[in-house]
Amino acid sequence: MPKREKKTPKAPRAKGYIAGAGEIVEQDVGETLRKNFMPYAMSVILSRAIPEIDGFKPSHRKILYTMYKMGLLGPGRKKSATIVGEVMKLNPHGDTAIYDTMVRLSRGYEALLHPFVDSKGNFGKFYSRDMAWAAPRYTEAKLDDLCRELFRDIDRDTVDFVDNYDNTMQEPVLLPVGFPTVLVNANTGIAVGMASNICPFNLSEVCKTTIALMRDPQADLFQTLLAPDFPGGGQLIFDRAQMEKVYQTGRGSFKVRGRYAYDKSQNCIDVTQIPPTTTIEVIVEKVIDLVKQNKLKEIADIRDESDLEGLKITIDLKRGTDPDKLMQKLFKLTTLEDSFACNFNVLIAGAPRVLGVRELLEEWCAFRIECVRRRTHFDLQKKKEKLHLLTGLQAILLDIDKAIRIVRETEEEVEVVPNLMIGFGIDQVQAEYVAEIRLRHLNREYILKRTEEIGQLQKDIAGLEAILASKSKVTSLIIAELTDIAQKYGKPRRTMLLYADEVEEADLAEEVPDYPVHLFFTQEGYFKKITPQSLRMSGEQKLKEGDAIAQQAEAVNSTELLFFTDRCQVYKLRASDFDDTKASVLGDFIPAKAQMDEGERALSMVPTKDYAGFMLFVFENGKAAKVDLSAYRTKQNRRKLVSAYSDKSPLVRALFLPEDGEVLLTASSGRMLLFHTGLIASKATKNTQGVQAMSLKQGQRVMACAVYADGDLQNPARYRKKLPALGALPAGEDAAEQLSI
């Protein structure tokens, strides 16, 4: 028999041994993310960052509902610390986060058009970064009167309730809001992979728009909903096309600028309203920085004078400063004018959706219709139950003595209800109700008073059933409620509309000293700016070995310079960007100064003040393109323009011509062509291929191009031809005069 192998005894396991600890196990990254990250992402999206159709995130809803259950919808306030402690029964995220959220809902913080929390004490300010709110033990709060429209129907089965995190109490899934709070108050949230940023609108305008849509789904929104309305006021620069995009898609942006007043007696500007996306401190710090950079020379001092009366930034001006022109510069250079980016991302039936204003109001209407139907059904059931009880009581009216006798003669208590059911032909619920009537109420007067309600109840029930059977009646109820809310809580617009075509933009061109200069550009790409006085006192121009002056021009210091390169690009600089120099220095290397692409060369310099004249591009294939210099003017002062000329054939030369004149082309065959540039039509497209100027045979190309001057040729008529043309071979007297490249 084969011998058995001896098993090696296993080493004893150490105390606290964990199976698999320390082992490296390969896992699929995708699967790990799905298991660990996706639940977190879904939790942030669905339970934290994105508002729902009632306009609230879960944290907002928990705070408001807790305050409602605490009885804070009345006149009395409670310490914020007490409120925060109660909210923690629904929200386990910690007292600091709860209090911060409550502050943002408060009247004192001024972040909402219609605050939900009526605060007392220091709750900070939305427009200030450094003005912190007091600790919760020092402040008090209650619900604002507007919250009556949030909780009016909450106890009438209008919304669903769920258990809280430890199953000790219940909270509403949504609030049965009586108006579209989702559009009335601003809401911002950042989730995982998505965000939400809803701008506020005026309450009256939102209610009127909702009513208009319920009556006509195709109603023009701009008839009733003018534009967003911010709690801090300001001026909204209204562009109809931009606003239509926001209304239709829920995405887009618009500009909001602050409002100011000029105090002539103090020679200062008082800024009293700023955009919602900035703070006092950011504006003041930016202005101070611009003054230090010498970009704002008109300002003597700036300070924050905000107090209990509200926001105020005071800017002291230097003598002779135009306040309106200064404010135009501040709008351009600081966040006193800023963009508000909209992203109407809302949870609809548990899924995030980006909706336009019309779609959002349609979803709210559907939600509110369901709330009203549930409320009506709840009231109907209550009235039917009451009618049922009173019908049983009415049966007792026929013979009160009989009822008393049945109760008195019944030996056991449990038999009282069955005996009443048998004696009067009523059901158990009615009999229980009759049996619970006090002895003092067993008289005809009491019973008659109670049974008089039967007729009214029957009418009410018929009315409620009619509402449930008619969608138009439900709609009419909602319209009546919206009209009442708009009248009761509506306020005038705070944000003023400023139409885009009326806005003046400041010209921020720096004032540079203007004086005569001489400009020099070399074949290797070096540039010099020399004053006339320095040039007179200078000797020879210093150049790199093998380099030569390619262009020189008389100009002024504010002249703009266009440098055309070998990669079909043009770079724009100013003469003032260069220091005054002397002939004895090499000058600035343009590819480095203009930050050109690696290996890119500057071919031609064009100085201009008014972009008059045109460029003539001559290519090796014999084509010539004429482009107005104004095509290179840009409103945004871009430093680099691509596709400056055609890349279909190598460039021979880029000529700047102030006006039409004659140009001489020389081909590799030796032929020369003299033509007038007026024969070529000017093009608006910069990279046009142009027209055929010089006809070439196979293997030939244009070698040189130059502006023709009288006397350059002995017999110029010989070379003047109709375009396109081969040109003519030079005669003996012109053979030695051929122009070089």
**Residues taking part in catalysis:** 138
Q: Is 709 exposed, middle or buried (0-12, 13-18, 19+ CB in 10 A)?
A: exposed
Amino acid sitting at position 364: W
> Could you give the CA distance from residue 322 to residue 521 in angstroms, rounded to a whole number?
41
Give the contacts of 210 (CB within 8 A, at least 6 positions apart). Answer: 179, 180, 361, 364, 365, 482
Helix and strand element counts for the chain (H, E): 20, 32
Q: What single-letter DSSP state applies at residue 18?
A: -
Q: 178 is written with which tokens? A: 């009586």
> Could you give the CA distance from residue 508 to residue 633 in angstroms, rounded to a whole number?
16
> Could you give the CA distance from residue 157 to residue 176 in angstroms, rounded to a whole number?
10
> Could you give the CA distance from residue 639 to residue 675 in angstroms, rounded to a whole number?
34
- CA 368 to chain centroid, in Å, comes to 28
Please identify which residue in the block is written with the tokens 């009282």.
416
E strand residue ranges, 226-331: 235-238, 251-257, 259-263, 268-273, 299-304, 313-317
> Could you give the CA distance from residue 184 to residue 494 in angstroms, rounded to a whole number?
13
Please identify which residue in the block is written with the tokens 């396109």.
724
β-strands 570-574, 560-565 pairing: antiparallel
> Could you give the CA distance from residue 59 to residue 171 in angstroms, rounded to a whole number?
12
> Could you give the CA distance from residue 564 to residue 554 in angstroms, rounded to a whole number?
19
Strand partners, 271: 260, 313
Amino acid sitting at position 191: A
Buried b (16+ CB within 10 A) or exposed e, 377-387: bbbbeebeebb
The CA-atom distances, in angstroms, between 699 and each of 192, 620, 623 are: 63, 11, 15
Q: 149 is written with which tokens? A: 């429209």
Q: What single-letter DSSP state applies at residue 505?
A: P
- For 343: left if phi > 0, alpha if psi spans -120 to 50, otherwise beta; the answer is beta
> Could you give the CA distance from residue 179 to residue 480 in angstroms, rounded to a whole number?
11
- CA 297 to chain centroid, in Å, comes to 32
> Could you give the CA distance from residue 90 to residue 95 in angstroms, rounded to a whole number?
12
The CA-atom distances, in angstroms, between 412 and each of 408, 436, 662, 741 are: 10, 16, 130, 129
Asked if 383 contacts 81 with a C-beta cutoff of 8 angstroms, the reply is no
Please identify which residue in the block is written with the tokens 């939102």.
206
Of 59, 260, 69, 57, nearest to 147 by C-alpha is 69
Asked if 247 contacts 237 with a C-beta cutoff of 8 angstroms, the reply is no
Angle between helices 80-87 and 58-69 (to 10 degrees): 110
Q: CA torsion sign, 151 to 156 to 158 to 160?
A: positive
Give the contacts of 387 (CB within 8 A, at least 6 positions apart). Answer: 454, 457, 458, 461
Of 143, 124, 138, nearest to 81 by C-alpha is 138
Asked if 213 contacts 202 with a C-beta cutoff of 8 angstroms, the reply is no
Q: Which helix (H) or strand (E) holds 444?
A: helix 444-451
The DSSP secondary structure of 520-551, one letter per residue, reads EEETTSEEEEE-HHHHHH--SPP--TT--EEE
